[in-house]
Amino acid sequence: MTANPAAQRPPRRVGRRGFLAGGLGVLAAAAGGGAWALDRYVLDHVEVTGASTLTAQNVSVAEAAGDGTATATTWSSDTSKISIETVSTGSGSDKITYFVADVQVTDATIVRSAFANDQFGENIVANPSEIASSVNAVLAINGDYYGFRDTGIVIRNGVKFRDSGARQGLAFYADGSMKLYDETATTADKLLAAGVWNTLSFGPGLVESGKAIDGVDQIEVDTNFGNHSIQGQQPRTGVGLIDENHLLFVVVDGRSQGYSRGVTMPEFADIFVGLGATVAYNLDGGGSSAMIFRDELVNNPLGKGQERGTSDILYVAG
């Protein structure tokens, strides 16, 4: 599929991190007590380098919902088949535009994660397309922005990076299954022993046992400094599972009148249910929402065609 004409890459703009750097710098200068915020939310804290290339050695190996218009493209190899559909519903101020990647793989471990600058730690960011290019990803979406927080269980490509359970997480298993789980009721080591290949820590869970989960419009992921509500009509990124080794990557554009208003959390859950998902999970959204296919930006973030730096991606290896 060709990239959206509006999604060509202009000069990089100041994103979340740049904005915070300027604001918190003034805060720190004005009051010595503000220096903690600069250190916590802006300055890089690299814990592991070469992080994206680490892998565990012991891990074995549609139609869119609703009325509207859709265009699609397909790609296949010996290990995966990918179909990407662009869906538009509604009109005017109620128009919604979203992108569905239907992904079928022969080996669950080619669905991987990669970190910005190949480093694990806090506040390390790069554009999703840059991260995707660095690992030769065929398809990628932004991940959970793990680097914005210091909690959560982070297992990536079979390797444990963080073990600090705090919220509802999503676990990808090496057998091709996917489950929602309570991070506070387990440990990273137990998950690895059970065959978990990747975890994501954002949420909330959207779909379980094929049904939309009640109450998702009441959940806030974080209450820490600088975080904004995930509720309301927002750009969204999510991942779901239809069956073993059959995944859905969905990105909804938003905050752009006449192009796409974004969706509420219940609406996002309904999209996944309509696509046949048995499990689905919400990832970082807003200006971070991005889908990359063969080094091209598929969606149109905020209607401006500009990516925003994030700490990680979920991708399908070539």
pLDDT, tens digit (0-9, with 9 covering 90-100), for 254-279: 999 999 999 999 999 999 999 999 99
Contact predicate 318/147, CB 8 Å: no
Q: Quick one: how many helices (H) and strands (E) in the chain?
A: 5, 20
Q: Return d(Cα 103, Cα 176) in angstroms, integer.
A: 12
Place of tokens 């991987």: 112
Of the candidates 99, 76, 113, the residue with the CA atom closest to the CA atom of residue 297: 99
Total residues found in the chain within this entry = 318
Regions of the chain short of the pLDDT cut 70: 1-45, 49, 52-70, 223-228
Question: Residue 41's pLDDT is what?
Answer: 44
Domain chopping of the chain, boundaries? 5-317
Of the candidates 84, 131, 167, the residue with the CA atom closest to the CA atom of residue 310: 131
Q: Return d(Cα 75, Cα 213) in angstroms, integer.
A: 32
Place of tokens 């869119």: 64
Sequence-ordered list of residues with C-beta below 8 angstroms from that of 91, at least 6 positions apart, any chain? none
Question: Residue 48's pLDDT is what?
Answer: 72
Is the pTM higher than 0.95? The answer reads no
Of the candidates 66, 64, 62, the residue with the CA atom closest to the CA atom of residue 91: 66
Of the candidates 205, 171, 175, 174, the residue with the CA atom closest to the CA atom of residue 187: 171
Model confidence pLDDT, tens digit, residues 39-98: 544 555 677 767 765 554 333 223 333 344 657 799 999 999 999 999 999 999 999 999
User: In this structure, what token pair is assigned to residue 100?
Assistant: 């569905």
Contact predicate 151/169, CB 8 Å: no
> What are the Cα distances from residue 42, in Å, to 39, 166, 200, 284?
6, 22, 22, 18
Question: Residue 175's pLDDT is what?
Answer: 98
**Residue 111 CB-half CA count within 13 A:** 34
Query: 173 pairs with which residues across the strands?
Result: 196
Question: Residue 52's pLDDT is what?
Answer: 65
Q: Return d(Cα 122, Cα 229) in angstroms, integer.
A: 21
Of the candidates 183, 185, 215, the residue with the CA atom closest to the CA atom of residue 202: 183
Question: Residue 31's pLDDT is what?
Answer: 46
Q: Return d(Cα 264, Cα 177) in angstroms, integer.
A: 27
Question: Residue 222's pLDDT is what?
Answer: 75
Strands, DSSP E only, in the chain?
A: 45-49, 69-76, 80-89, 96-105, 111-115, 119-122, 137-142, 152-156, 159-164, 168-173, 178-182, 196-200, 205-208, 211-212, 236-243, 246-252, 279-282, 291-293, 296-297, 312-317
> What are the Cα distances from residue 195, in Å, to 108, 109, 170?
11, 11, 13
